[in-house]
Amino acid sequence: MTSHADEIASNLERAKTNLQAARDLSEKGYHDIAASRAYYAAFYAASALLVNKGLDSGKHSGVIALIHQHFVKTGELDKEQGKNLNWLFELRGVGDYGVSVHVASGEAFRAIRVAEKFLESAKRILG
């Protein structure tokens, strides 16, 4: 790990916590919030990857762009992971801001699986 080991570990712990919250919320039928937490699990895992490379962004879209630039384009993450991160971000918008549109249970469960896979990939890259 880099000199930012504590920050990386903190981001990974937040990813893990948000993933568990997503599971718990989805089981109780709170699919909008579960999808949001699944996105944040992937977001924190992505943030850990960026910190490890000395990169940072103050915006969610910036984090996603940097992941594509430094991990997807280089092959450290496959293209499907990049697409899934984009999808999670879009789904989070529905979950957090959708007025009459809501996240379906199947989408919430898929979001959790996608976030789990993203976190596993981040851990693999980080060693």
Contact 58, 122 (CB under 8 A): no
Give pLDDT tens digits for 110-120. Answer: 999 999 999 99
Q: What is the number of structural domains in the chain? A: 1
Domain that holds residue 35: 5-126
**How many other CB atoms sit within 10 Å of the CB of residue 50?**
20
CA atoms of 29 and 7, how far apart (whole Å): 33
1-55 pLDDT tens trace: 446 999 999 999 999 999 999 999 999 999 999 999 999 999 999 999 999 999 9
pTM (2 d.p.): 0.94
Q: How many CB atoms lie within 10 A of CB 44?
A: 25
Q: Report angle CA 83, 122, 39 to the nearest 5 degrees.
A: 50
Residue 90 DSSP SS3: helix
CATH of the domain at 57: 1.20.120.330
Per-residue pLDDT tens digits for 52-87: 999 998 899 999 999 999 999 999 999 999 999 999
- The span from the CA of 89 to the CA of 87, in Å, is 5
- Largest Cα–Cα separation, the chain: 46
